[in-house]
Structure 1
């Protein structure tokens, strides 16, 4: 299949690379010329602009957007609009708000698939988890590419109509906030508790057969191995918060109590003025799964 990829940052490079590795043809564009050149080196056909990318694609265009949520997506869609019709498919693989995805699905001439993407840069090796919303026929058309970009056929599914993919990803991120906070609180108690413990050893032991084993716990082990048990150079400042905020707002609108997610979000905001070990671990965990920059103590 011929696939256009717009946006070649950390995640977009992985989408293009995994599609190429699976034998698909990729036409790639990014505003960063070096990123385009790097994609060309591994087999992608470069494009100098969004319109040129559209022109290089076949009669039935399949285009994957991996650009920041918000105005950047609307700008790319505006550039694409003259080149699209109802037989084409556009995938939005970023962290867009689900209501924005519904709006874009209604206004875009092509079939629009909102694709919640989880797995971070580690997806380069193992593939992503993809939560997809939009027309069933369009999902079926892109399934060979989804097989390549995800962990395999079990790593993606159609959640429902337009907006549902990003809706599921939004809730996923809220759960992620709560899990990170729970690990942080547990390790803070161990760190400040009765015994002088090697927290890397604790994390490794828990992750071998314990009920609470997980990838996030593996990242805790990694953090302690690389930063030391005290995490003393890692700042108590946890960035991010948009998807968690959206999750809490949706819970309020649906009158569903989410006290754990809400508290984790409040802790994240509180990290910008106070100091806690739990938040230092959350700061470092964001680097583990997403390669987000680690804020450091001055």
Structure 2
């Protein structure tokens, strides 16, 4: 039986661990990163990982029909890589985009590549830095023929061959499903944050948040991996005074809110969770100043100066 082989471009926190997991499964991984040292370090001591100095070397090393998987940040980096790959791949080859990309862009890319005979698969990947040991949750979009070549890799990356991966539907459905997944994630995180903030503020009860988080992990209806992670960091630090109250937002949260508007489907929890992230980034500061000044105007209420 011929050994499975794949090209993997992008060896960051997720891409690097995915390369390791595939290699553990017996796949020959032709690994490429803009910094060759990253690929070289990954390949050290692992005969199944081959460090490549260029995307050209990756493509030349793979047997046709090739499977090239991109694990780059969505946006310009992925777009540039797709254009570069399109000039190197041949008809029948398969290009997989594992970035957290916008599903409408995936559909457009698939149409463009189809004109060259290159098949396109969009895969939403969840699992973060824990995927190496626990496996990844994979949501794939594409036609049956393209998925047939990608499924062996999905089975190795997933927690088990029979679970943790799904052919969600046609091109675009993988990234669409991951987009909604991340919108739900925003809402769940916001709910946990608000609940623990409410308990932390009830000082007269002297609640031990770490013990409560640990308690809820067992048989509670809110038990989840997010709660597991929360319990872990609360054991070390409940006050979090050294953590800046700033939360970044990614494209998926914004795209989910926009999709809800386009479809006319109410998603208040996910949308408000996104707004709270904007607020944490200082984007509510001017509006809050406006409110303070309006309140002063109609009621003569004092305004607190900056730094007071």
Instruction: Provide TM-score, normalisation by structure 1.
Output: 0.89
Say if 2:213 is the partner of 1:203. Answer: yes
Higher relative contact order (CA 8 A, sep 6+): 1
For 1:271, what is the secondary structure of its paired residue? helix
Aligned to 1:285: none
1:14 maps to which of 17, 20, 23: 17
For 1:272, what is the secondary structure of its paired residue? helix
What CA distance in whole angstroms lies between the structure 1 residues aligned with 2:121 and 2:53? Answer: 25
Say if 2:86 is the partner of 1:81. Answer: yes
What is the alpha-carbon root mean square deviation over aligned residues?
A: 1.4
Q: Is the 8 A contact 1:68 1:95 kept in 2?
A: yes
Shift of 1:274: 8.7
Aligned to 1:257: 266
What does the per-residue CA deviation read over 1:108-145, in whole Å, with 9 as the maximum and x for residues that have no partner?
A: 23211100000100001111000110111211221111
What does the per-residue CA deviation read over 1:159-214, in whole Å, with 9 as the maximum and x for residues that have no partner?
A: 11110000000000000000000001110111111411111110010001111000
What CA distance in whole angstroms lies between the structure 2 residues aligned with 1:15 and 1:86? Answer: 26
Unaligned runs of 5+ in 2: 285-308
2:43 maps to which of 40, 44, 60: 40
For 2:91, what is the secondary structure of its paired residue? coil
Q: Is the 8 A contact 2:36 2:52 kept in 1?
A: no
Say if 2:2 is the partner of 1:4. Answer: no
Say if 2:147 is the partner of 1:139. Answer: yes
Aligned to 1:186: 195
Aligned to 1:119: 127
What does the per-residue CA deviation read over 1:214-250, in whole Å, with 9 as the maximum and x for residues that have no partner?
A: 0000111112122x11111111110123211110000
What CA distance in whole angstroms lies between the structure 1 residues aligned with 2:81 and 2:187? Answer: 34
What CA distance in whole angstroms lies between the structure 1 residues aligned with 2:182 and 2:260? Answer: 13
Shift of 1:45: 1.1
What CA distance in whole angstroms lies between the structure 2 residues aligned with 1:233 and 1:274? Answer: 21
What CA distance in whole angstroms lies between the structure 2 residues aligned with 1:66 and 1:241? Answer: 16
**Count of paired positions:** 274
What CA distance in whole angstroms lies between the structure 2 residues aligned with 1:241 and 1:76? Answer: 20
Shift of 1:82: 3.0
Q: Is the 8 A contact 2:106 2:172 kept in 1?
A: yes
Structure 1 segment 93-112 matched on structure 2, within 5 A: 93-108=98-113, 109=116, 110-112=118-120
What CA distance in whole angstroms lies between the structure 2 residues aligned with 1:247 and 1:130? Answer: 18
Shift of 1:51: 1.2
Aligned to 1:272: 281
Q: Is the 8 A contact 1:51 1:79 kept in 2?
A: no
2:158 maps to which of 138, 150, 161: 150
